[in-house]
Structure 1
Amino acid sequence: MDSYTFANEVDKHVGQRIRSRRESLKISQGRLGRQLGVTFSQIQKYEKGSNRVGAGRLYQIAMFLGVTPNYFFEGLEGEQGIEPQNSSTPSSVSPEELKALTDAFSNVDDKDTRASVVALVRSLMGEIEKRSL
């Protein structure tokens, strides 16, 4: 497989993962588009793999959908047949908990409050990392 064909397959895989995650959270293409400042038709193009998702945009999508950017590459075999090893979320987090958290967070209208919540979660992550050292 040449690198161009492989890149197109990656774009399609990432798009399918975006769609799957978005639909599992019952988020419309329009809502995701509004969150990102793009049209729903742009979201359609991302999901079909006809438009490539840039790294910054993929990060924004991941944060809004409550996953890490790695999530979108899970299940994709590389040219060498190497499967990614990292999971998108800790195994102790259930899909129901993640959905509830994502739904609640996306309903917070105040930008500063959302930023505070993100800062709180990041500080908690730092405390957990310190304890495991």
Structure 2
Amino acid sequence: MTHPVDVHVGKRIRHRRWLVGMTQQQLAEKVGIKFQQIQKYETGANRVSASRLWDIADALDVSVGFFFNGIDTDQPMEPEAETVPGDILGDKEALDLVRSYYAIPEHQRRRLFELARVLSDVA
């Protein structure tokens, strides 16, 4: 059975990989492993060692701590616990939207954010 922390870390790897527009193959090449191993990490089927997580963080240009963001440390993790509501990190459309959002220049992005906030308040 997979551990919820391994699943969470795998989702965060996938999330960051999508945000930077990198394929599993490209990440695997940067880390020096086969893409199938990246697939196993992203699903939580295989646990990522500390040294491998360090290499992945370097390849994705984030700190190792990034992969643990969002874990609720006040609640004990149970094997079937849902760590991300609705698995937003696994939603291709949501990740494409976030990637596109960050490709917009900052001043325009801020205005788009405010528009989205107003629209969500009205909905």
Q: Normalised by the shorter chain, which TM-score bucket?
A: 0.5 to 0.7
Tell me the TM-score normalized by structure 2.
Answer: 0.59
Which of 29, 32, 46 aligns to 2:27? It is: 32
- Unmatched runs of 5 consecutive residues or more in structure 1: 83-94, 97-133
Q: Deviations over 1:20-63 (max 9, x none)?
A: 00011000000110111111110000000000000000011111
Where does 1:1-133 land on structure 2 (aligned, <5 Å)?
Answer: 8-78=3-73, 80-81=74-75
* Equivalent AA in structure 2 for residue 40 of structure 1: F
Name the CA distance, whole Å, in 2 between partners of 1:58 and 1:81: 24
Partners of 1:21 and 1:37 in 2: how far apart?
18
Give unpaired runs (5+ residues) of structure 2. Answer: 77-101, 104-123
DSSP-derived class of the 1:56 partner: helix
Mapped to 1, the partners of 2:58 and 2:38 lie a distance apart of 16
Question: How far, CA to CA, are the matches of 1:36 and 1:24 in structure 2?
Answer: 18
Aligned AA for 2:39? Answer: Q
CA distance in 2, matches of 1:64, 1:35: 6
What amino acid sits opposite 1:13 in the alignment?
H
Aligned-pair identity (%): 44
Amino acid at match of 1:24: L
What residue identity is the alignment partner of 2:65? Answer: N
The Cα shift of 1:64 comes to 1.1
SS at match of 2:3: helix
Q: How far has the Cα of 1:81 moved from its partner?
A: 2.9
Letter in 2 for 1:14: V
